[in-house]
Amino acid sequence: MSCEAGGFCADEHRRRVAALQRGMTADGIDALLLTTPPDVFYVCGFLTRFWESPARPWFLLVPATGDPVAVIPAIGAPLMRRGWIADVRTWDAPDPRDDGVGLLAAALREMLPPRGRLGAPMGAETHLRMPQADLARLLALIAPATLVDATGALRGAREIKSEAEIARIRAACRVADAAFAGVGDFAGSGRRLDDVFRDFQIALLREGADWVGYLAGGAGPDGCEDVISPADGRELRRGDVLMLDAGAVKAGYFCDFDRNFAIGGPSDAARRAHAALHAATDAALSAARPGMRACDLHGVMARALQAQGAAPLGGRFGHGLGVSLTEWPSLSPLDETPLRAGMVLTLEPGVEVAPGRIMVHEENVALRKDGPELLSARAPAELPALD
Amino acid sequence: MSCEAGGFCADEHRRRVAALQRGMTADGIDALLLTTPPDVFYVCGFLTRFWESPARPWFLLVPATGDPVAVIPAIGAPLMRRGWIADVRTWDAPDPRDDGVGLLAAALREMLPPRGRLGAPMGAETHLRMPQADLARLLALIAPATLVDATGALRGAREIKSEAEIARIRAACRVADAAFAGVGDFAGSGRRLDDVFRDFQIALLREGADWVGYLAGGAGPDGCEDVISPADGRELRRGDVLMLDAGAVKAGYFCDFDRNFAIGGPSDAARRAHAALHAATDAALSAARPGMRACDLHGVMARALQAQGAAPLGGRFGHGLGVSLTEWPSLSPLDETPLRAGMVLTLEPGVEVAPGRIMVHEENVALRKDGPELLSARAPAELPALD
């Protein structure tokens, strides 16, 4: 990845590494081990869909000072070497005798003091993408160095987006804006939900998505039963509310927002639910400022819904967004993370329209010093109707 | 998921659980913890793209006898309850105080004897999709029960596909067959590679893919530089060989095969490379039998390439396929897994056409008692040319 080919310049990545290293220093971490697609992409600009194969682990090491070291399967070497990381070490994976663990331990011994602290993300919303048995083997090889939680350093860096990152998320949002504008061309009474899902993915690709990393939604009388099910062959009927939730990917960055459509004229209940959600999002757009906590912004939306007489859903009303479809923080009553300028967030209030029927409304924003900048085109105040 | 809605019947899933439990008994495992999308789908039929969000862990427990227990975020309850799993326990995730660990430990205490053995996949091609700190907390809560590797029990079951599973993989292959047949409509000299990738994804959706879980490929003089890079804006030129590698998903099952296209008339080198790959695949199609080892089938293809004067690539020449894009075993010199009837495999020999230029050829097969059944439509013997 070069600047010219749509990649970021090395400067951008060096700033990210510096941010990680500040957090590592604060937490006394001597080296950071990253293993997941978003984390490796974030540091290296290494973008591939090959992660879909669980066969091979990939390792990225960030030392407390100096440049990262990539310890990766040989199949990834040409792509990694086109990026800014100079130290790329490879093995022929998969290797049942030693799938990179020895090579990784050798690289770590160069970075870690004898009783050093190897950080890895171990907290909320993280996992280690490597076999658990190999992790145990690695820790035995680097002992007496120990494994410590580096979620704080990772979050601290990834939560704040650069202008280059915000531009990519905005580009992904524009793809979805354009695709949503054309939903009336293929969705309506009598159309099968699975065909609508397929056509919507085609629309996202036509509007410039590199791929469609996520699509969810549903349809039912006045709202969906849930928002994570795959589409089935049920036909849309008048009285349904159709919801489509798009995670289009553009140059490695996601958008994540939904739109609702009434099939035929909406019922009063659906119209009121949509109006309440729109008002709650307006309230969040007015109120959000750096220094608030994530739970405070949840409270703004929950109170706005209640003021409209709507029944707020449990759970969170939004989250971070960027190299993953969802990132820290959670706009939930339990998340006290301070909001900071540079965060990109979804505002996603939800209501129960009737027992077992829900409606969710979502926008994507970049939080600026003086409030949120919309990255998605603001949804219409009135629930739009399709024939 | 019901039989009618495109799901599997409960009987299918009960047979899978029985296969897992046979492996667990053989390895002395009292309960099995599964956390990843393919494993949870395999046991429950729980199909969603919501896994794209790393925010929430999901837990599925298989006891040594009896039915599984799902311990999942409340947001997944309606979908899980439409399936065959009766015991579904939920919490409001994400919860920074306890993200399901207490609930999971309580469920495990019902299943595990005091010094029982909790199995989890810890070996090759696995990872645990949960925070590492939560795993440590879980193990403290269930002590003196201990964590042991259950990769063998999981592989043993998942490697052998039922006829219902083979039918789904075949359906995914047919989608890709049809899309590959139309590549000439949008790929050719002067077309940008990223537009070709986009159009190919659209073609896969039009032919009935539920979504496109994977797409890789590349183009260059006589072959690609690598096979995992994303597409860039480079225009195809006469003399290039274009490779497209499709992971279309149909009802939760993947296909995974590629096709090569010469832009303009192919060079002698490209023609020879393709012919050697085709001959190597023919050799594998003739020779593959249950009882051979994975490495033996690799050897069949490597020797056929050498007999054609071609230079085999390192690494593996194929792998398992099903609920993941790639599964065990690996057709590599190091993998001694015995091949068994019911395995679905990719045959994927690769050659170096010139220094830094490679060509890979791939078919998908179900291994039967008397040899492989092609699931993909056999590639043409001659490298096809596009204008």
pLDDT at B9: 85
Chosen for mutation from B47, B132, B326 (greatest number of chain A CBs closer than 10 Å) is: B132
A127·B128 Cβ contact <8 A: yes
Overall domain count for chain A: 2
For position B8, what pLDDT does the model report? 79
Q: What pLDDT is recorded for position A1?
A: 41
Statement to judge: residues B211 and B358 lie in one domain: yes
Give the pLDDT mean for A93-102: 97
- pLDDT for A93 equals 96
B5 domain residue, yes or no: no
| pLDDT tens digits, A40-58 | 999 999 999 999 999 999 9
pLDDT at A36: 98
In the structure encoding, which two tokens stand for residue B146, read together? 């201990």
Identify whether residues B178 and B58 lie together within a single domain.
no
Same domain for B172 and B217?
Answer: yes
C-alpha B181/C-alpha B163 separation (Å) is: 26
The closest CB to that of A75, out of B77, B201, B315, belongs to: B315
CATH no. for residue B376? 3.90.230.10
Query: Is residue A370 over pLDDT 50?
Result: yes
Q: Could you tell me the two tokens for A252? A: 């490695």
A193 & A297 share domain? yes
Residue B31 lies in a domain: yes
pLDDT tens digits for B307-324?
999 999 999 999 999 999
First to last CA, chain B: 45
Inter-chain CB proximity A216 and B48 less than 8 Å: yes
Domain membership flag for residue B327: yes
What would the mean pLDDT of A184-200 be, rounded to a whole number?
98
pLDDT value at A338 more than 60: yes
Average pLDDT, chain A: 96
A194 and A227 co-located in one domain: yes
* Residue B1 within a domain: no
Q: Do B319 and A55 touch (CB under 8 A)?
A: yes
pLDDT tens-digit series, residues B32-75: 999 999 999 999 999 999 999 999 999 999 999 999 999 999 99
DSSP structure string for B252-310 = TEE--EEEEEEESSPPHHHHHHHHHHHHHHHHHHHH--BTBBHHHHHHHHHHHHHHTT-
In a shared domain, residues A153 and A211 = no
Among A177, A197, A178, A202, CA closest to A187: A197
Query: Stretch A275-301: mean pLDDT, rounded?
Result: 98
pLDDT at A91 over 70: yes
Q: Give pLDDT, residue A386.
A: 97
In a domain, B4, yes or no: no
Chosen domain end from B96, B127, B158: B158
What is the predicted pLDDT for the residue at B227?
87
Residues A254 and A356 in one domain: yes
On whether the CB atoms of residues A38 and A46 are closer than 8 A, the answer is no
Q: Are residues B154 and B259 in the same domain?
A: no
Q: Give the nearest partner residue to B211 out of A133, A215, A226, using CB atoms.
A: A215
- Whether the pLDDT of residue A202 is over 70: the answer is yes
Residue B34 resides in a domain: yes
Q: Which of A158, A193, A218 is the last residue of a domain?
A: A158
Query: What pLDDT digit, counting tens, does each position of B271-301 carry?
Result: 999 999 999 999 999 999 999 999 999 999 9
From CA B253, how far away is CA B38, in angstroms rounded? 9
Angstrom distance (rounded) from CA B182 to CA B186: 8
Whether the Cβ atoms of residue B145 and residue B298 lie closer than 8 Å to each other:
no
- For residues A215 and A297, membership in a common domain is answered with yes
Query: Is A280 in the same domain as A373?
Result: yes
Range of the domain at B93: 10-158
Q: Residue B88: pLDDT band by 50, 70, 90 thresholds?
A: very high
A138 touches chain B (CB under 8 A): no
Residues A73 and A210 in one domain: no
